[in-house]
Amino acid sequence: MSRIGFIGTGHIAAPMVRFLVGKGHHLTVSDRNAAVAHTLAQSHGVTVAPNQAVLDDSDVIFLCLRPLIAEAVLETLVFRKDQQIVTVMAGVSLSRLRTLCAPASKIVATIPLGYLEQGGCPLPACPDAQLLGALFAPENPVFAVTDERALNMHFAVCAMLPGVLDLMATGAQWLAEETGDAAQSDFYAAQLIGGYLSAMTKEAGALARERDALATKGTISLQMTQSLRAAGTHAALRDTMAAIGNRLEGTT
Together in a domain, 51 and 78: yes
Together in a domain, 117 and 167: no
Provide the pLDDT confidence category of residue 11 given band limits of 50, 70 and 90.
Answer: confident
Mean pLDDT, to the nearest integer, of 46-70? 94
Mean pLDDT, to the nearest integer, of 138-145? 96
What's the total number of domains in the chain?
2
pTM, rounded to two decimals: 0.87
7: helix, strand or coil: strand
> pLDDT (tens digit, 9 = 90+) per residue, 112-128?
999 999 999 999 999 99
Whether 84 is in a domain gets the answer: yes
Tally of residues, the chain: 252
Which residue range is the domain that position 166 belongs to? Answer: 160-249
Together in a domain, 13 and 55: yes
Provide the pLDDT confidence category of residue 31 given band limits of 50, 70 and 90.
Answer: confident
Together in a domain, 30 and 129: yes
Q: Which of 94, 115, 145 is the last residue of a domain?
A: 145
Q: Which of 119, 145, 171 is the last residue of a domain?
A: 145
Whether 167 is in a domain gets the answer: yes
Under a CB-based contact definition with an 8 Å cutoff, are residues 228 and 164 in contact?
A: no
Name, in order, each residue with C-beta under 8 angstroms of 66's C-beta and a sequence gap of 6 or more.
8, 89
CA-CA-CA-CA torsion for 123, 124, 129, 133, nearest 10 degrees?
A: 10
Together in a domain, 88 and 182: no
Whether 155 is in a domain gets the answer: no
Sign of the dihedral defined by the CA atoms of residues 201, 207, 208, 210, in that order: positive
Kindly report whether the peptide bond that precedes residue 103 is cis, defined as omega within 30 degrees of 0.
yes
Whether 152 is in a domain gets the answer: no
- For residue 60, what is the domain's CATH number? 3.40.50.720
Provide the pLDDT confidence category of residue 251 given band limits of 50, 70 and 90.
Answer: low
